[in-house]
Structure 1
Amino acid sequence: MASKNKYVKIALAVLFLLCLADFPYGFYQLVRFIGSIGLGYLAFSAYQQENKVDLIVFGALALLFQPFAKITLGRELWNVIDVGASIYLIISLFKAKPKTNS
């Protein structure tokens, strides 16, 4: 599952950084939908791994990006959130993995 998480994190980071460009509004709606699903998946994965920090961060981001109850923050603030989320996703790729008792 860890390798699947890696691809989801990379894809989401790239997708969020693409939001800095000027696209039609439908693109941003698609990003919110894909982002909420991907971040929800990462939050569930963090829950299964008992990683409370990632669970909280990915869960909060999934709620923020959810497309059903639009959160109007303005383009500049959304750009900051997109960059921050991308940075966290990239950093989380390199965090030490929890040791398992085998």
Structure 2
Amino acid sequence: MEKIIKIGLAILFFLCLLDMPYGFFELVRFIALLGFGFLAFKANEKGDARETIIYAALALLFQPFFKIALGRGLWNILDVIVGITLVLSVFKKK
């Protein structure tokens, strides 16, 4: 389940690089909040404090309620970095 969420979030972040309507970005932020919240919860269940903090921080960064104005260019860079990191985390061995 976690791998599916990571791949799904990565795809959404890569789609954010395209010229999409503003509502799409709002939807991605809401889905990212839910996805990263779930990943933080699962990491906490496993006792992995580092991943819990990372996923919780990403949930706060992407949450749609109190927007963080970083500009389109910086958001695109963040989308690529987070998307690539999520894809790589699917393939890493524990």
Using structure 1 for the length normalisation, give the TM-score.
0.88
Gaps of 5+ in 2: none
The ranges of structure 1 where at least 4 consecutive aligned residues each deviate by more than 3 angstroms after the TM superposition are none
2:35 corresponds to 1:38: yes
Larger CA Rg, structure 1 vs 2: 1
Q: How far apart are 1:53 and its partner, in Å?
A: 2.2
How many residues align? The count is 94
**Cα deviation 1:30-72 (Å, max 9, x = unaligned):** 0000011001100111111112221121111100000000111
Aligned to 2:93: 96
Choose which of 66, 69, 74 in structure 1 pairs with 2:71: 74
Using structure 2 for the length normalisation, give the TM-score.
0.95
User: Which amino acid in the other structure matches residue 47 of structure 2?
Assistant: E
Counting aligned pairs with the same residue, the percent is: 55
Gaps of 5+ in 1: 98-102
* Higher helix content, 1 or 2: 2
User: What is the correspondence of 1:1-102 to structure 2 with a 5 Å cutoff?
Assistant: 4-97=1-94
Tell me how large the CA RMSD over aligned residues is. Answer: 0.9
